[in-house]
Amino acid sequence: MFRILIACLLAALVAGCVGSQRPQADQSEVASRSYRDPGPSTLTLYTMISTRTGSGAHTSLMISGSERVIFDPAGSFRADVVPIKNDVLYGITPNVERAYRSSHARETHYARIQTIEVTPQQAEIALQLAKQMGPVAGAYCANSTSQLLQQVPGFEQISTTFYPVKLSEQFGQIPGVVTTEYRESDSADLQQGLAANNARLNQIEAASTN
């Protein structure tokens, strides 16, 4: 277990799975930004993977049901228009989702994106579990996500793991999962990507209110 933790911590230092102290939104801000996608209920597992070593660096889970959120345990993502409460990102519109994966995909990492359609009941269970998780300690992104998934009916076969790629492999074995990859070749600096996408989201927000 000690070796596993060391490996996860090393990857976390590179990718941002470090238990960041993100500002916590109040409930009124969360409610005002709530977004529900018109499509079917889905779960989407994001796995950030090193382009050099193939090792996993971060895990997160987008839940689309009565509202669409991203459970981003110990994550680094932040944007002015995205309320965050206990490692749950709210108001995941299509523009925000694009900004999220774009922020993580860069010269040194790509995003593996795995989506499965679920029932509204499954999505709601996952949503409530994400909200109850509370802030997650650094390097526990895959661990907390795997624990969440195994409590959702139909996903009990998911085993607890500290390794993002191992969780991705388990998730990919579930019938109906569709896997894609998202890559960019911009700066390896995660903070630059976060800043650039925050600026884009602010521009979109300003344009929509004019």
Confidence of residue 20 (pLDDT cuts 50, 70, 90): low
Beta bridge partner(s), residue 60: 46
Listed in sequence order, the DSSP H helices in the chain are 2-15, 27-33, 94-104, 120-132, 141-149, 164-172, 190-209
The reported pLDDT for the residue numbered 12 is 47
Confidence of residue 134 (pLDDT cuts 50, 70, 90): confident
Rounded CA gap, 92 and 127, in Å? 13
Rounded CA gap, 127 and 132, in Å? 9
User: For 48-98, what is each residue's pLDDT tens digit?
Assistant: 999 999 999 999 999 999 999 999 999 999 999 999 999 999 999 999 999
Rounded (10°) CA dihedral 119, 122, 124, 128? -170
**Average pLDDT, integer, range 5-26:** 61
Strand order in the sheet with 84-85: 84-85, 88-89, 68-71, 56-64, 42-50, 109-117, 178-182
State yes or no: pLDDT of 47 exceeds 80. Answer: yes
Contact of 68 with 146, CB cutoff 8 Å: no
User: For 146-202, what is each residue's pLDDT tens digit?
Assistant: 999 999 999 999 999 999 999 999 999 999 999 999 999 988 899 999 999 999 999
Rounded CA gap, 108 and 76, in Å? 16
Count CA within 13 A, CB hemisphere, residue 187: 10
Confidence of residue 21 (pLDDT cuts 50, 70, 90): confident
